[in-house]
Structure 1
């Protein structure tokens, strides 16, 4: 005899018509980790795990974790790789 199988998989609810984080309305809007993943360089699950490990700033309302638009922009900026710029000394030697 085998164990019964689950009939449903839990999928996070994602609201529609969300403001972009870089807009005036979006800077203070509260996004769930799965909604924030649309603009961030990570998946919703990874963002939720980062929140659980306290690696990134987030908003806790007593029950759920959220990210504001400003926090999403800071997260994107933190993990953006800047192009390498040659120093003046390197260009003179070449």
Structure 2
């Protein structure tokens, strides 16, 4: 006979019908790292770890860490790789 599990796996609570960070309401809305993950290239756990290491801007309310919509947009822009501009081809100069 085995002993019962002491704890059950903790799954983060994600609220429904969240405003998108790009909207006027979403710019100031506070998202948990796991809620913000759907708009970033990172997982919720990675965002939480980045906050703990102070690598990204965040909001601390005395108990929990949050990201505003404006911070999510800035984070996505920070890690977006933009294509190089094409330069005109060089022409050979006759000597």
The two structures have a TM-score, normalised by structure 2, of 0.87
5 Å-filtered alignment, 1:7-26, equals 8-26=8-26
**Per-residue Cα deviation, 1:9-66 (whole angstroms, up to 9, x for no partner):** 0000000000000000000000000000010110000000000000000000000000
Structure 1, unaligned runs of 5 or more: none
CA RMSD of aligned residues (A): 2.0
* Rg larger in structure: 2
After superposing on structure 2, the runs of 4+ consecutive aligned residues of structure 1 that deviate more than 4 Å are 1-4
Match of 2:52 in 1: 52
Count of residues in correspondence between the two structures:
92
Per-residue deviation, 1:87: 2.5
TM-score (norm 1): 0.88
* C-alpha deviation, 1:5, in angstroms: 3.4
Unaligned runs of 5+ in 2: none
